[in-house]
Structure 1
Amino acid sequence: MADITKTNRRDFLKIAATATGGLLIGFYWSSCDSPKVKVLSTEEVLSKAHNFNSFLSISPDGDIVIYSPNPELGQNIKTSFPMVVAEELDADWSKVRVLQAPLDTEKFDRQLTGGSGAMPHSWERLRKAGATAKYLLMAAAAQQLEVDQATLTVEKSVVTHKASGKKLSYGELVEVASTMEAPEEVLLKDPKDFTLIGTPVRNVDNKDIITGKPLFGLDFYREGMMHAMIQRPPFGKKIKSVDDSEARAVNGVTDVIQYDNFVAIVGHSTWPLIKAKRRLKVTYEAEGNVESTADHDRIMKELLESKEARTMRSDGDVEKAFASAAKVVTSEYQCPFLPHAPMEPMNFFAHVKGEEVELIGPTQTPDAARMQTAALLDIPKENVTVDITRLGGGFGRRLRADYVIDAVEVSRRINAPVKVTWTREDDMIGGAYRPAVRYRFSAALDEEGNMIGYKLRGVGLNAGNAVRQDNFPSGAVPNLLIENINYDSTVTTNAWRAPITNFLAYAEQSFLDEVALATDKDPVKFRLDLLEKAKSSPVGAVNYDVDRMIGVIKDAAERSNWGKDSNIKQGFSVYFSHRSYVAQVANIEMVNNQPVLKKIIASTDCGIVVNPTGANHQVRGGIVDGMGHAMFGNLVFEDGSPKQKNFDTYRLIRMKEVPDIDLNYIDSGFEPTGLGEPALPPTGGAIANAIFAATGKRLRSQPFIEQQEFSDLNLQMFRS
């Protein structure tokens, strides 16, 4: 990872090269069985490392180096992965150094960040790696001390023989350990014996972030590289003509290049490029459907009435249930396209050198960047290297490699290394957005208020499957029909934090409150009753853990004193996504006769919490993100382009608008499940339901602040 930071891959190799007799252990992250560990001398590392997926290094001076393979975008994986290895290793955390690994699909498995799946996928693999290393070190200690290995204990990188009082540090043992054969099986710790996992540990990059060290893609610089910015077309349009005369006249601009449907401006630094881009004159003509928000609304409403829907799940006899219902509740909910808007705009460095390519920058899917580059240039993928910088946010946007290909395209045309940087406006108008979606829900109730039928039809614009047919309340209703309709829009979409569920959860949980109201039942009890039915007499597949969902519901209700204070109006929401369960209660109080959101209480079951510090950041961040976008986020399209092009027109949540957030984690005994995304989906529903409880106004579309029902409320804390 040359030229990125002072702590880089060359530093790691230098440590290895100078650590005479150092122990270097390679282990397969993809293996489900105990890893077949092979001990290498440091001289053999470069030639034999390709046989392995990751490395744990211990030098004779006791320093421990752990490579972190997955991209770090704020989800704390660069800290929590090494914590798991260090826990089983019984390492002295103060001696651990963590280095970002470059892309290597032969050494690493699932080297990406997305879907809140990194820790669930790697948990056992990381533990076995640490435990195997510890076994070798203890075996070396037993041999040197001439004692039974079972009589030894380990704490903070020191092996102790209590009977004699003799102690050996890991650094003193690596030379002997490097001659020993690793076991086929290793014993993992009982979670009750964890000493590092479950404790608050600061992010390993904190100091470098605070002191401004170059960690992010925007920080990357190499002597002699060029800079480029790209002009992108509106959706559904193609270039008709380009007048680049004024752009070329800007001092510092060296070239203007047109390729495919893009225009690239190249120069020595970004400021001349920004000025030149403003002077670039490009005219466009329609190539496909040039859609507007009015078109999107019309399309979704029409498709909701269409007979051409794909059945995603069907239980019982829905038509019979609705025909015999004593009462039917029906509502529609809609959300707009949204940008990802990470703090760090898209950027990437590329150097095309004939048949070889060097890529450096922030990406959630480094292998996708490599594969698409290889396909574009028609070269073997092995000829493309990818070094990963820290990401200044991603939220799914950096799962795509379009901005990487920008850099590759320009580099091969100018035959020089180049860094492509997007402006904030580029990031807003050239994005791959959260899909716009519209839902219609219907519930059939019998005379006793039981929900005997449930229907959901979703229409998404480039959403693929806009429903999650096996999520709650599926399995709890005897007659159920869930349908999906996808419309191919010219507006490009992409995974957006907690894909689909980021809005579906709000819509479902708001609708369930509507049904509970129609039955005169408490909203929390209404959900618990449904879950008891899913547990005692499930209908069809139940692909969520009923007990874990009940657990977070009861915990959130208890901690929020649900329904016990008449001066507090409350809204409830619960959701299962990315293997985890989060329940939330939003508290609204009347201040000077105005409703004010004061507090959100969240209960999370994500299995074992590796690092409470990182977990708190993830849950709080998810809640703030979910609240901000439900309240304010909106893109309005006109003539194939969004009107909101920067943060002066795209409304984000402000610090003063964030309520008190009270967190708790349920110890369900499960191994870690996802956490980067699950806290976001329930937030919109909890807030909307609280607003209804306080005002009687039901919000069925996002953003809330632009709905007429919301405008009537005069919620002062959300006024500009």
Structure 2
Amino acid sequence: MSIVPHTNRRDFLKLAAASGGGLLIGFNWTNAQAQPAVLDATSAEALAASIEFNSYLSISPQGVVTIFSPNPEVGQGIKTAFPIVVAEELDVDWKQVKVAQAPLDTVKFQRQVAGGSGSIPHSWKRLRQAGATTRQLFINTAAKRWGVDATACTTNSGTVIHTASGKKLTYGELAEEASKMPTPTDVPLKDPKDFKLIGSTIRNVDNKEIITGKPLFGVDFYRDGMLFAVIKRPEAFGLKLKSVDAVAAKAMPGIVDVVTFDNSVAVLGKSTWQVLKAREALKVTYEKEAALESTADHDRIFDELLNGSTATVRRQDGDVEAAFKNAAKVIKSEYQCPFLPHSPMEPMNFFAHVRPDGAELIGPTQTPERARGDAAKFLNLPQEKITVEMTRMGGGFGRRLATDFVMEAVKVSALAKAPVKVMWTREDDMTGGDYRPAVKYRFEAALDAEGTMIGYKLRGAGINAGNPTREHNFPSGTVANLLIDSAEHKSPITTGPWRAPITNFLAYAEQAFLDEVATAAGKDPIAFRLDLLEKAKKSPVGDVKYDIDRMIAVTKLAAEKANWGKAKTADGKAVAQGFSLYYSHLSYVAQIGEVTMKNGKPELTKIIAAVDCGIVINQSGARQQVMGGVVDGIGHAMYGNLSFKDGAPEQANFNTYKMIRMANVPAVEVHFVDNGIEPTGLGEPALPPTGGAVANAIFKATGKRLYKQPFVEQDVLKGLS
């Protein structure tokens, strides 16, 4: 296995041509039909431009297979997973495969987005069909040369074999001839039992480059002659730029210019150090444009929203009022979470070179098409005049779905009339907005005399959260009388998607509350949930938009693997266990947290995760995604807190904003449900249930419930580091 370094489309086509002519296959992801053409060094780019491809597969005469991976790589492993799917159906040895990152090209590709855990579900069939069609093309070519029926031939590791005679030809040997053959149609796909690559363990294609420090990330990008820029943004949300005195800054060494745009000031120079020092010399004044909100204001606003009468009804089943009026017992609890920054290890950065006739954009973005569209609109240029090249990203978690940092580079380059790379510091990144919304929930449950939940209420109050509920998720469909509504406060504090949007906190709150309800009903927490699911399976209430059988299966797998209710430490002491279950982004995850007491404080020692994401493409990548989601879920539930004072974040770097450390990470055990269902996403689904598993295990160990995040600021955990 080898990797083609980060490159652009022209370089890739030259690569394909330089491989000795070779066969370049275009995958049309709409119909997955391959369209072949032999490319030489002079015609490669022209021919590619004239054929409406959506993805490429190049096979050299030496049998080297090069696959262009179109989606942004943000650490979710898509740059490895996509080629695995193609290579599986193509039936080539993974050692023969090279992978290259594609630039943005919406004519040749679809859904070049890293978000919503949607890349694999969207592309699974298309990628398989593309590989299978190409494999059949080589079989047909070899059969014609040998004068035999194609059905008498098979393939193995990039070689076509005539079974009866033992004749063999490699794909490389057939490439030129195959390019003149008609494209096969209605090609069958492999039976999953015959998979060789899918389901195996394959290393990430960029591992070596990452470990050896090769320039893969946006922050690494450099071009001779470019200027570096840093931005001075308002110090608080709700402030408007009033005046700028840049005399001292402009006089400093290496500074080329200082420009003002929108509500910001950019300092341009020849090095990051020089522009950072010059930014400190700026004298900027602001005026108030909107309310300068503090966390204390948000606490008050939450209570007003939860107690108000203007909530929007999201779902209503049965007669909720009657259920609560006739209940034998009512449980009521509130859960609250703070704003959170995304905190990727690589702060925001982007390169732009705006010219009169077009623009070139290069950097880490989860939404390259959106970046191009926003740039085109601002520059009043056709989109085809703007190129976007994607680098690997040092984390995104939803932050790089936005294009504010891209547009800063575009605007500054346009003003400076020069190629510019905008760089953010860690402080810029944490105070620059687009946070996870702060939310507060109120849950209520009505139980009858037998401990059956006959009524359920949820009100979500969010700050710039839109709808902070997921009204069709579990337990909707399992309770006869249900009301889910929401209310929102519009704030000048900017918010946006944060890994597993909304569900990243809602799942914890819901699962902690259901645990509390199960306790009040005198029932085992897992048995309580299974009872709800079994009843819904027989007689669902309203729309059920999740698969009940899959939720039941993943729950039982987690209970089995964790030895639920019977787990003990090595020295025979009982382990406190907490259960959590959630469905998001088409996948199902059940988790059991394990806690033991140490020096009078609960210590999280293990998380057991059972996951149903359908067919696992890459065991290595899938496990890393689940483990990473669990660790992220623990870290932000336990430690993350961004508070505000007069519109300004009170935490600006990791000395005041705590991230999870290696010493805080428990053992994480991952198990996958093997059901042969088409694969779904994994970038987000493992995070939402984690907080609930941790909180419920802590309750089991201490008898204390956790109603607010971060957990370490609550009484039961105070003093933990």
Q: What is the CA distance between 1:9 and its match in structure 2?
A: 4.0
Q: What is the CA distance between 1:474 and its match in structure 2?
A: 0.3
The match for 1:518 is 520
Report if aligned partners of 2:33, 2:129 keep a CA contact under 8 Å in 1. no
From 641, 653, 657, the equivalent of 2:648 is 641
The match for 1:579 is 586
Aligned length: 708
User: Aligned equivalents of 1:691 and 1:277: distance in 2?
Assistant: 47
Report if aligned partners of 2:586, 2:613 keep a CA contact under 8 Å in 1. yes
Q: What is the CA distance between 1:19 and its match in structure 2?
A: 4.1
Q: What is the CA distance between 1:281 and its match in structure 2?
A: 2.3
Q: What is the CA distance between 1:259 and its match in structure 2?
A: 1.3
User: Aligned equivalents of 1:335 and 1:6: distance in 2?
Assistant: 39
The match for 1:47 is 46
1:82-161 equivalences in 2 (<5 Å): 82-161=83-162
- 2:672 paired with 1:665: yes
User: Aligned equivalents of 1:648 and 1:245: distance in 2?
Assistant: 33
User: Aligned equivalents of 2:98 and 2:138: distance in 1?
Assistant: 19
- 2:205 paired with 1:204: yes
- 2:445 paired with 1:446: no
Report if aligned partners of 1:153, 1:161 keep a CA contact under 8 Å in 2. yes
Report if aligned partners of 1:586, 1:686 keep a CA contact under 8 Å in 2. yes
Report if aligned partners of 1:329, 1:443 keep a CA contact under 8 Å in 2. yes
User: Deviations for 1:449-491, whole angstroms, at most 9, x for unmatched residues?
Assistant: 1100000000111111100000000000000000011221111
Report if aligned partners of 1:8, 1:99 keep a CA contact under 8 Å in 2. no
Q: Report the 3-state secondary structure (helix = DSSP H, G, I; strand = E; otherwise coil) of the residue aligned with 1:649.
A: coil
Q: What amino acid is the match of 1:131?
A: A
- 2:402 paired with 1:410: no
Report if aligned partners of 1:27, 1:37 keep a CA contact under 8 Å in 2. yes
From 336, 360, 363, the equivalent of 1:361 is 363
- In the superposition, relative to structure 1, how do residues 6 and 676 fare at CA in structure 2: closer, same or farther (>3 Å)? closer
- 2:316 paired with 1:314: yes
Give the unaligned 5+ runs of structure 1.
none
Q: What is the CA distance between 1:244 and its match in structure 2?
A: 2.3
User: Aligned equivalents of 1:549 and 1:105: distance in 2?
Assistant: 37
Identity over aligned residues, as a percent? 63
1:612-691 equivalences in 2 (<5 Å): 612-691=619-698
User: Deviations for 1:260-280, whole angstroms, at most 9, x for unmatched residues?
Assistant: 110100000101111122222
Q: Report the 3-state secondary structure (helix = DSSP H, G, I; strand = E; otherwise coil) of the residue aligned with 1:105.
A: coil
- In the superposition, relative to structure 1, how do residues 592 and 650 fare at CA in structure 2: closer, same or farther (>3 Å)? closer
1:239-254 equivalences in 2 (<5 Å): 239-254=241-256
1:432-471 equivalences in 2 (<5 Å): 432-471=434-473
User: Aligned equivalents of 1:271 and 1:15: distance in 2?
Assistant: 37
Q: What amino acid is the match of 1:366?
A: P
Q: Report the 3-state secondary structure (helix = DSSP H, G, I; strand = E; otherwise coil) of the residue aligned with 2:68.
A: strand
Q: What amino acid is the match of 1:174?
A: A
The match for 2:186 is 185
Q: What amino acid is the match of 2:314?
A: M
User: Aligned equivalents of 2:20 and 2:237: distance in 1?
Assistant: 59
The match for 2:223 is 222
User: Aligned equivalents of 2:471 and 2:323: distance in 1?
Assistant: 19
User: Deviations for 1:333-360, whole angstroms, at most 9, x for unmatched residues?
Assistant: 0000000010000000000011300000
Q: What is the CA distance between 1:99 and its match in structure 2?
A: 0.5
Q: Report the 3-state secondary structure (helix = DSSP H, G, I; strand = E; otherwise coil) of the residue aligned with 1:681.
A: coil
TM-score by length of 1: 0.97
Report if aligned partners of 1:559, 1:601 keep a CA contact under 8 Å in 2. yes
User: Aligned equivalents of 2:651 and 2:137: distance in 1?
Assistant: 59
- 2:606 paired with 1:599: yes
- 2:546 paired with 1:544: yes
The match for 1:295 is 297
The match for 1:328 is 330
The match for 2:13 is 13
The match for 1:174 is 175
- In the superposition, relative to structure 1, how do residues 357 and 406 fare at CA in structure 2: closer, same or farther (>3 Å)? same
User: Deviations for 1:297-341, whole angstroms, at most 9, x for unmatched residues?
Assistant: 111110111110111000000001111111110000000000001
User: Aligned equivalents of 2:599 and 2:337: distance in 1?
Assistant: 32
Report if aligned partners of 1:699, 1:710 keep a CA contact under 8 Å in 2. no
User: Deviations for 1:527-579, whole angstroms, at most 9, x for unmatched residues?
Assistant: 00000111011000000011111111111111111111461111110100000
Q: What amino acid is the match of 2:428?
A: D
- More divergent stretch after superposition (8-17 vs 330-339): 8-17
Report if aligned partners of 2:192, 2:676 keep a CA contact under 8 Å in 1. no
User: Aligned equivalents of 2:618 and 2:75: distance in 1?
Assistant: 13
Report if aligned partners of 1:9, 1:99 keep a CA contact under 8 Å in 2. no
User: Deviations for 1:607-645, whole angstroms, at most 9, x for unmatched residues?
Assistant: 000001001110000000000000000001112110100
User: Aligned equivalents of 1:99 and 1:9: distance in 2?
Assistant: 10
Report if aligned partners of 1:548, 1:668 keep a CA contact under 8 Å in 2. no
Q: What is the CA distance between 1:247 and its match in structure 2?
A: 2.2
- In the superposition, relative to structure 1, how do residues 104 and 11 fare at CA in structure 2: closer, same or farther (>3 Å)? closer
Q: What is the CA distance between 1:145 and its match in structure 2?
A: 1.8
Report if aligned partners of 2:612, 2:673 keep a CA contact under 8 Å in 1. yes
TM-score by length of 2: 0.96
Q: What is the CA distance between 1:8 and its match in structure 2?
A: 5.1
Q: What amino acid is the match of 2:346?
A: E
User: Aligned equivalents of 1:196 and 1:75: distance in 2?
Assistant: 18
From 277, 280, 283, the equivalent of 1:278 is 280
Give the unaligned 5+ runs of structure 2.
568-572
Report if aligned partners of 1:573, 1:685 keep a CA contact under 8 Å in 2. yes
